[in-house]
Amino acid sequence: MRVMVVGNGGREHALAWKLKQSPRIKRLWIAPGNAGTAQEGENVPIGADDIRGLVAFAKKESVDLVVVGPELPLSLGLVDALGEERIRAFGPSRAAAQLESSKVFCKLLLRQADVPTAECQIFRDVESATRYIKSRYANDRERTPLVVKADGLASGKGVIVCSYRDEVLDAIDRIGRKQEFGRAGAQMVIEERLEGPEVSVLAITDGRTIVPLPSAQDHKAAYDGDTGPNTGGMGAYSPTPIMTDELLETVQDKILVPSIHAMKRNRKPFRGVLYAGLMLTASGPKVLEYNVRFGDPECQPLLMRLKSDLLDLLEATVDGNLDSIDAPEWDPRPAICVVMASAGYPGSYETGSEITGLDAADKVTDVKVFHAGTQLKDGKVLTSGGRVLGVTAMGTSLANAKLQAYKGVQAIRWPGAWCRKDISDKAATYIEQLAAE
Ligand code: AMP
Ligand code: GLY
């Protein structure tokens, strides 16, 4: 088979690495890819948002399957455009991708499907949102535990968690009037602020059959102990003890199944990876958001644990026959991914530093270094992004996997490189909590 992966992050490197292990792969392209994906297949210099360019390339090379990594091309309709040319693609249609690209669409679907989520109000302009808040809360310092969200894609920003009325009014102003998140702010959602630990559940679905993936947990805050600004994700591990079998069953029955059925009923069948961002509240799991793709970095430890052929799984999803293949097999050993970032990330950072020690890191037992923000130049690997590498390891225990991953990290150098030191430490706290219950 001739397969093309679209995207250039750590997730796409992991997808390419795993796909390459399939005996059925004949050619593998990554558009645009990074220095790491170039080790797995052939990089093609076409941007992930260049829909026309991607379709033309897939046609020219008679690509049999396109695997779309990030949300932007999905929301721009890449899967639909490929479909018009009879090219098969893994990922939801543009209409189904609205689950991630429009928070308003997502909230309306959750409401229709009676899926637990934060209570919300939807607004189309600053005035009505401001009026609503002022009518319900008397003064600026009144406690107002609400979250204001811009409707559209805003690269993980566009969500402002508030405690007091003045913060809510300021958030409405930033999203609606100042348009800090661009057109994403044309509509906004104001919802109740929920409390509890956050966890993600990912499932592969062909629109009818749902195959949940093992649990994984991201670390969104920049610094140790979940402090500092929000990032795209500083590390992840799988499985997480917080997701018990019982909880996973609840999530399937009360959240995933009704959501996917509602999408089908609305004639927007969902095919691909459905990623539920959940908060485990005192009254059960509630949906914070849906993503319509693999999480990055959750994808890296998950794919390291996948023993089955990824290509079989993706093809069955695209062809709508997930019910006819064997359930995927997972390595019971835990895996962890530690993200190494550029100095300054998630704020502004410099690029172009030479990275050394990559071979030594890859030689550490059970370690694989997935590249994210890297670029090949004159035979050297240079930094080219904020999140640069995802050093991923599997181990007989989570502690052992962590040790191996950080051994890998220690071998790698570039000026200003840093990472969180506590990836997966949360697991121990959850085990203590579960034992105490
Ligand atoms: P989202 O992109 O909607 O997942 O929001 C990004 C982050 O904002 C989440 O990972 C949560 O930490 C936080 N968040 C979003 N919605 C809520 C909510 N209703 N209550 C509390 N925190 C929230
Ligand atoms: N790791 C969070 C995300 O991919 O959105």
Question: Which residue in 16, 33, 93, 106 sits closest to 318, CA to CA?
Answer: 93
Residue 234, C-beta contacts closer than 8 angstroms, at least 6 positions apart: 219, 220, 221, 222, 297, 339, 341, 387, 419, 420, 423
Question: Which residue in 375, 346, 265, 309 sits closest to 35, CA to CA?
Answer: 375
Q: Which atom of ligand 2 is nearest to the CA of 298?
A: 1
* Structure confidence by residue, pLDDT tens digits, 356-377: 999 999 999 999 999 999 999 9
**If pLDDT is split at 50, 70 and 90, which confidence band does 271 have?**
very high
C-alpha 130 to ligand 2 mean position (Å): 31
* pLDDT at 397 exceeding the cut of 80: yes
DSSP label at 383? E
* Structure confidence by residue, pLDDT tens digits, 16-33: 999 999 999 999 999 999
Which two structure tokens, joined as six digits, stand for 138? 């008397």
Which two structure tokens, joined as six digits, stand for 266? 């609305």
Strand partners, 272: 205
Mean pLDDT of 130-158: 91
Residue of the nearest CA to atom 9 in ligand 1?
Answer: 288
Q: Which atom of ligand 1 is nearest to the CA of 158?
A: 2
How many Å apart are CA 271 and CA 94, to the nearest integer?
11
Residue of the nearest CA to atom 3 in ligand 2?
Answer: 295
Q: Residue 283: is it exposed, middle or buried by C-beta count within 10 angstroms (0-12/13-18/19+)? A: exposed
Mean pLDDT of 241-255: 94
C-alpha 277 to ligand 1 mean position (Å): 8
* pLDDT at 186 exceeding the cut of 90: no
Architecture of domain 198-431: 2-Layer Sandwich (3.30)
Can you give the pLDDT at residue 265? 97
DSSP-derived secondary structure for 2-63:
EEEEEE-SHHHHHHHHHHHT-TT-SEEEEEE--TTGGGTSEE----TT-HHHHHHHHHHTT-
| Domain ranges for the chain | 2-93, 125-186, 198-431
Percentage of the chain lying above the pLDDT 90 cut: 93
pTM for this predicted structure? 0.95
DSSP label at 327? P
The number of the ligand nearest the C-alpha atom of 101 reads 1
Residue of the nearest CA to atom 6 in ligand 1?
Answer: 159
C-alpha 72 to ligand 1 mean position (Å): 20
* pLDDT at 156 exceeding the cut of 80: no
Can you give the pLDDT at residue 155? 75
C-alpha 247 to ligand 1 mean position (Å): 20
Instruction: Please say whether the beta carbons of 205 and 316 come within 8 A.
Output: no
Reduced 3-state DSSP string for 168-231: HHHHHHHHHHCCCCHHHHCCEEEEECCCCCEEEEEEEECCCCEEECCCEEECCEEEHHHEEEEC
C-alpha 202 to ligand 1 mean position (Å): 17
Q: Ligand 2 pocket by C-beta < 6 Å: which residues?
A: 218, 233, 291, 295-296, 298
C-alpha 288 to ligand 1 mean position (Å): 6
Sign of CA dihedral 351, 368, 304, 393: negative
The answer to whether the 2-93 and 198-431 domains have the same CATH topology is no
Alpha carbon distances (Å) from 301 to 213, 235, 298:
11, 9, 6
**If pLDDT is split at 50, 70 and 90, which confidence band does 409 have?**
very high
Instruction: Tell me the angle at which helices 257-265 and 103-113 cross, rounded to the nearest 10 degrees.
Output: 100
How many Å apart are CA 436 and CA 65, to the nearest integer?
48
* Structure confidence by residue, pLDDT tens digits, 212-242: 999 999 999 999 999 999 899 999 999 999 9
C-alpha 102 to ligand 1 mean position (Å): 15
Q: Ligand 1 pocket by C-beta < 6 Å: which residues?
A: 118, 147, 149, 159, 161, 191, 193-194, 198, 220, 277, 288-289
Cis? peptide before 145, omega within 30° of 0: no
Residue of the nearest CA to atom 1 in ligand 1?
Answer: 289
Can you give the pLDDT at residue 220? 92
Instruction: Please say whether the beta carbons of 34 and 8 come within 8 A.
Output: yes
Pick the CATH number of 2-93 from 3.30.1330.30, 3.40.50.1220, 3.40.50.20, 1.20.950.20: 3.40.50.20
